[in-house]
Amino acid sequence: MVSLNSFELRPDAVSLVNVLPACGSLGAWKRGKQLQGYAIRRCLHEDVFVGNAIVDMYAKCKRLDDANKVFELMEVKDVVSWNALVTGYSQIGRFDEALGLFERMREEEIDLNVVTWSAVISGYAQRDLGYEALNIFKGMRLSGAEPNVITLVSVLSGCAAIGALRQGKETHCYAIKRMFSLEGSNTEEDLMVTNALIDMYAKCKEMKIAHAMFDDIDRRDRNVVTWTVMIGGYAQHGDANDALELFSAMLKDEYSVIPNAYTISCALVACARLSSLRIGRQIHAYVLRQGYEPTIVFVANCLIDMYAKSGDVDAARLVFDNMSQRNTVSWTSLMTGYGMHGRGEEALQVFNVMRGEGLPIDGVTFLVVLYACSHSGMVDKGMNYFNHMKGDFGVVPGAEHYACMIDILGRAGRLDEAMKLIERMPMEPTSVVWVALLSACRVHKNVDLAEHAAAKLSELESENDGTYTLLSNIYANAKRWKDVARIRSLMKHSGIRKRPGCSWVQGKKETVTFFVGDRCHPMSEKIYDLLEDLIHRIKAMGYVPETNFALHDVDDEEKGDLLIEHSEKLALAYGILTSAPGVPIRITKNLRVCGDCHTAMTYISKIIEHEIILRDSSRFHHIKNGSCSCRGFW
DNA sequence: GTAGGGTTAG
């Protein structure tokens, strides 16, 4: 409401609405409050623009109760104030209250504008509630409000969050229609929609479409987000090697776009997936040179994860120790690192320090604690944490925590207890639970329970190549060949193929990949010669090939899959041939390491001058002087 | 002169 004397006071109102947003973005609510007092003394607070600016200032400073108080006192409640509150509640995680306001707006028949709709859509999208976001979008179009670029970007982000390709494509079509009908063309706005589309296609695993759209953008027009969504797409949903190539192309690009913290994080995720310590270190050096201060926590957390997953958890610790600020993720990333390297005691030490510092302990923290216990064989400790997480920390165990406990009990061979725990679950057991049980059955040779778990997985329609391979191995181990054959034909029938095992080894300048029986590498002859020699020598030391593992193959073409040709053995031989004495050999395998390879490597570690650092899909194995850090807890 | 948006970690 514009007051009667507002005309002569108008310049002051204008300066207030110019200054208040600055208080909001700085979080300087005390200064904002002074300005509010000044406005009241001068009767400026009745100016609707000033009122809106005050509400927004408090909302931006995360003082929603203050914002609400001002809002309730406003004589005329402007839609801008409503919107500021909706956004404010959404930003501080009180989204229910934001939705309550949205409902109130509809009841009081406030004219919802494009900003209101977009705020609610993006609120849902940011919480990965894509279907709800799409629903609001539908409501918006029915209401006759005109979506704009920001609306479209928010909707696409919702589609991306849930991998909704069909709805994403529909939104794409809608965007094309709308863009054509808009007057003139705005490259910057077009680019935002295009970036959102690339991200959506990448998150729906449609990397070809994403890359085609990326290629279609004029090189000069790509901005840092364009590059980042593409790199992040490859890092998470495609070949991580492509992500690193793109990152390198970005640095060399003549229209030089500078990577930001998001870009760096995506590149580090790619390094983590590939265990690429060499490139990870280079990016770390780049980070130190550039100094990503404002978002350093995020980047440092990625560095912790990258170092841990690349086999150097001590470097991860150094990054952690040097951080000036940490959040929950920093702590849990380090704990996960210790966990996957079988250093469970250190993981629990970190957990205790974390508790001592009074940091919030959430469901993920316990998942990480249980994971660490599981990979270090700490059954009783794990059980103890599991039993106390609700009472002592108020964290209710979810299906994933149960799955972790099944894993812990299963690895320790306590299958009956594991099954009893499943029966006691207050929720429906998820596929993760049954996979944990099935894996335990493989190690402890329990065919009946394995069949039960496999049947449950089938009910949940979440059988995959891993399930079939596990079951086939269990049958083979029990010499039930008919069942092995049955599984084999079942796989053929349903078109499920065993994922080919592949291992890669970190060379000084490059990474070399090997598949089963690979003879593509120029050094192949030397590799096989060395392997034969090594096998011969360790046989003399007592190594007996575990031929059960040769029965893995469920594919006729893989009949020649002899133990000596397994990709991890080839990678090891290559590593020995190309590494200087004393330098650790770092191998990564996409599947679980084969049991025979594990045994053979343990023997070989006695006769070579390298530590073998092997990462498989389950954990790290540090193999040295005839023993492995996993101590049998796979 | 006020309100809404895209890319990152456990």
Structure letter (DSSP) for residue A615: E
- Residues A368-378 pLDDT 10s: 999 999 999 99
Choice among A5-14, A50-59, A567-576 with the minimum mean pLDDT:
A5-14
- Contacts of range A209-215, beta carbons closer than 8 Å, 24 or more positions apart: none
Strand B-contacting residues in A 328-347, CB cut-off 7 angstroms: 328-330, 332-333, 336
Residue pLDDT, tens place only, A117-157? 999 999 999 999 999 999 999 999 999 999 999 999 999 99
Reading the block at residue A500, the tokens are 């080919």
Q: Is the CB of A231 under 7 A from strand B?
A: no
Contacts of A350 (CB under 8 A, 6+ apart): A331, A334, A335, A338
Which nucleotide C1' is nearest A88 CA? B3
**Is residue A549's pLDDT more than 80?**
no
Residue A54 Cβ < 7 Å to strand B: no
More confident residue, A134 or A177: A134
Phi (first) and psi of residue A307, to 5 degrees = -60, -45
Residue A557: its pLDDT value, please? 39
Percent of chain A with pLDDT over 70: 94
- Please say if the pLDDT value at position A561 is more than 60: no
What integer is the mean pLDDT of A225-241? Answer: 96
Per-residue 3-state assignment (H helix, E strand, C coil) for A255-293? CCCCCCHHHHHHHHHHHHHHCCHHHHHHHHHHHHHHCCH
Q: Which residues in range 239-268 of chain A are in contact with strand B, contact meaning CB within 7 A of any of its atoms?
A: 260-266
Instruction: Compute the mean pLDDT over every residue in chain A, rounded to the nearest whole number.
Output: 91
Task: Indicate the helix (H) or strand (E) that contains A229.
Answer: helix A224-237
Asked if strand B comes closer than 7 Å to A23 Cβ, the answer is no
Strand B and A13 CB separated by under 7 Å: yes
Nucleic strand B contacts from chain A, 277-296, CB < 7 Å: 295
How many other C-beta atoms are found inside a 10 Å radius of the C-beta of residue A439?
21
Per-residue model confidence (pLDDT) at position A548: 63
Instruction: Considering all nucleic acid strands, name the nucleotide whose C1' atom is nearest to the C-alpha of residue A90.
Output: B4
Residue A397, pLDDT above cutoff 90: yes
Could you tell me the distance in Å between the CA of residue A436 and the C1' of nucleotide B4? 44
A223 contact to strand B (CB, 7 A limit): yes
Nearest partner of A70 among A83, A56, A60, A80, judged by Cα: A56
Per-residue pLDDT tens for A467-523?
A: 888 888 888 888 888 888 899 888 888 888 888 889 999 988 889 999 988 899 999
Specify the pLDDT at position A185.
Answer: 61
CA A7 to chain centre: 55
A163-184 average pLDDT score: 84
The pLDDT score that the predictor gives to residue A188 is: 84
Average pLDDT rounded to a whole number, residues A547-552: 56
Return the top range by mean pLDDT from A410-414, A482-486, A554-558, A602-606. Answer: A602-606
Q: pLDDT at position A509, please?
A: 84
Complete DSSP assignment for A451-520: HHHHHHHHHTT---HHHHHHHHHHHHHTT-HHHHHHHHHHHHHHT--PPPPEEEEE-SS-EEEEETT---
pLDDT of residue A10: 47
